[in-house]
Structure 1
């Protein structure tokens, strides 16, 4: 199914507020603003690291960086779910399309 709306970019607008530890089996993000901890699986940890390193990324661009290839529709959908979870956790903000 092809979406009829433009994808919303995401950015980590509070990158300086986060301390991140990455291991082979995942990552942990500490949010200094509210002292919360977030455990991430390896893909989510890599995605969050990429968002912290870039000004803003669309789901397609982030999927391209994660998978180092032209992403499939399922890859982009998975990244979109990650971005929604990150937004819910307060780790990123979504920008207007």
Structure 2
């Protein structure tokens, strides 16, 4: 499993546009081949900061998404709303307790 975390900070007046866009495409992203989980989080102390958390079958599957027409619809628009450069991490899960 390949886990991707992306931190995004938005211009305050662009948050609603981001949320509308995310909700428009979330099901398509989640059903993209190789995606096993998609979650969106909002920072409790800074409401302009959001995180996406996604599980991918492999790095290849994530890269296929990043080269897809769907990504081409989502990411260019999202980038126009940022107040800061996004950050991204690719991580391996070491422990999970439920």
Which protein has greater RCO, CA pairs closer than 8 Å, 6+ apart?
2
Structure with greater strand share of residues: 2
TM-score normalized with structure 2 length: 0.33
TM-score normalized with structure 1 length: 0.33
